[in-house]
Amino acid sequence: MIGKLKGMIDSYGEDFIILDVNGVGYVVQCSARTLQHLPRPGEPTALAIETQVREDAIKLFGFGSDAERDWFRLLQTVQGVGAKVALAILGVLDARELASAIAMQDKAMVARAPGVGPKLAARIVAELKDKAPAFAGIDPNVVRLAGAEEAKSAPKPVQDAIS
Quote the pLDDT of residue 95: 92
pLDDT of res. 159? 61
Question: What CA dihedral angle connects 1, 28, 121 and 118, to 10 degrees?
Answer: -150
Per-residue model confidence (pLDDT) at position 131: 82
pLDDT of residue 152: 62
Residue 135: its pLDDT value, please? 61
Element housing 127 (H / E): helix 118-128
pTM of the prediction?
0.80
As a whole number of angstroms, the distance between CA 58 and CA 33 comes to: 23
Positions of CATH 2.40.50.140 in the chain: 4-63
Per-residue pLDDT of the chain (163 residues; tens, 9 = 90+): 899 999 999 999 999 999 999 999 999 999 999 999 999 999 999 999 999 999 999 999 999 999 999 999 999 999 999 999 999 999 999 999 999 999 999 999 999 999 999 999 999 999 999 887 666 555 555 555 555 555 566 566 656 666 5
pLDDT given for residue 3 in this prediction = 93
Assign a CATH topology to domain 4-63: OB fold (Dihydrolipoamide Acetyltransferase, E2P) (2.40.50)
Kindly report, as residue ranges, where domains of CATH 1.10.150.20 are found in the chain: 67-150
Distance CA 145, CA 143 (A): 5
Task: Round to whole Å and give the CA distance between 90 and 76.
Answer: 12
Q: Domain 67-150 in CATH: superfamily?
A: 5' to 3' exonuclease, C-terminal subdomain (1.10.150.20)
pLDDT for position 132: 77
The predicted pLDDT at position 28 comes to: 98
